[in-house]
Structure 1
């Protein structure tokens, strides 16, 4: 069994957050620069307490870490270079479902030598998630619709968030279990009770224009248009429960408004 690391550097947004939640004081040296961006990070304020890194092998090696945390999509060149230099690198796969989050928590706890803290976090997560299952009386049909018309089905973390909140995902009706590009015409014809879109980033991205298309807006009343904040949806951490809570509130509003 590897010794408990004392100098940990994380270079992935999702490992950043798990490490910040579980690491002992002084154990975590640096997190990725993405961790301090409130648009994508659920712990942007906490991340300000750590020096940021940009995922470069040179800068990370000079920190003299005894452990580097990375994601499977993190710069492979950096990971390979650090490994060649003899640095221990632990690679985490993305979580594609709510049931994969406990494994992420346990693994991070074991790697950091923080098993007890991880167990406490896990028990709280599972209890809070279970609480959502008791209140659903009807499952409104909903669609996730993001930039470029991308939708996500039940075999995705976002799709699992919808299920936990009590929605039925219309992407499943048309074969998008893993996600894909759904034409706007198809979405309108499916007539979901709610369309969940991401909050546009500052600037003028034509990829996001589809989320504000007149045909989509005309097909939905104000109640049925939900938005999600990327920071609570992208990583397999307990922060996904904030997204479930937000979507459950939308579902309750829909069912109450329509007499169900």
Structure 2
């Protein structure tokens, strides 16, 4: 922190309010990273978090390679001298508080739990970056993808979302919204679950879902995914179908979340035709 104090004394603090579209933007959160990459003008976005370059969690990992990496530390962000800092509401709180006290303009984004939330955050990001027209273009593209997916039909299959450590998504979650928009029934909602909750292997087997969506992000064995190699889990798949959709498509709410809807709908359609 000594270097930070020295830098403050030598450089002064940036204005808290930008008079025009920001020219040097730093994002510290995977979800704001990706929205900013989709929306920012040439040279406007300077740095993204290290998570943006992780292909297991970031749809835009290749694009992120062209930006400076940050690890969400106050000192490194300060020395980048941004005129706008983007973060999530749960992003390293100590760093956010320090940067705000230093006078930096920090804009925080709530996690999305619906496509309406995604539209709000796309438009807000567009306004912050002075890229409103681009934001509307992305919203139109997302809505066109959603419109291309058939709605729920009678007899729609029930889908169990099954993540690491036996977690699932219920009502009020972005993943649950994806399932609903894909025309399917979310087992989590069917069981009355709210938010992200644990779904034991016993509950999963007893519920007898038509389809199971599960993705193992690791090539090597992992305790987080031990339920997915359990004989009971394999038995639950007997005569059913396992759908593998990478988590990165619905970790963050963005235009590409509509692709998760299409991927799920298409996979369910193929499963039903077997």
TM-score range, shorter chain: over 0.9
Residues 229/55 of structure 1: CA separation in 2 closer, same or farther (3 Å cut): same
Match of 2:232 in 1: 215
> Which of 74, 87, 95 is 1:57 aligned to?
74
Match of 1:164 in 2: 181
Inter-partner Cα distance in structure 1 for 2:129 and 2:168: 36
Unaligned runs of 5+ in 1: none
Number of corresponding residues: 257
Match of 1:103 in 2: 120
> Which of 199, 220, 228 is 2:245 aligned to?
228
Q: Tell me which stretches of 4 or more aligned residues in structure 1 moved more than 3 Å.
A: 133-138
Query: Contact conserved, 1:35 with 1:44, CA < 8 A, in 2?
Result: yes
Pairwise CA RMSD: 1.6
Q: Secondary structure at the match of 1:62?
A: helix
The answer as to 2:264 corresponding to 1:254 is no
Q: Which aligned pairs between 1:165-244 and structure 2 lie closer than 5 A?
A: 165-221=182-238, 224-244=241-261
Q: Secondary structure at the match of 1:133?
A: coil
Unaligned runs of 5+ in 2: 1-17
Q: Deviations over 1:4-46 (max 9, x none)?
A: 1111000100000000010010100000011010000000000
TM-score for both structures, normalised by structure 2? 0.89
Please say which of residues 214-223 and 169-178 is displaced more in the overlay: 214-223
Please say which of residues 56-65 and 178-187 is displaced more in the overlay: 178-187
Q: Deviations over 1:171-230 (max 9, x none)?
A: 122221323111111111110001111223244421210122111111214761111211
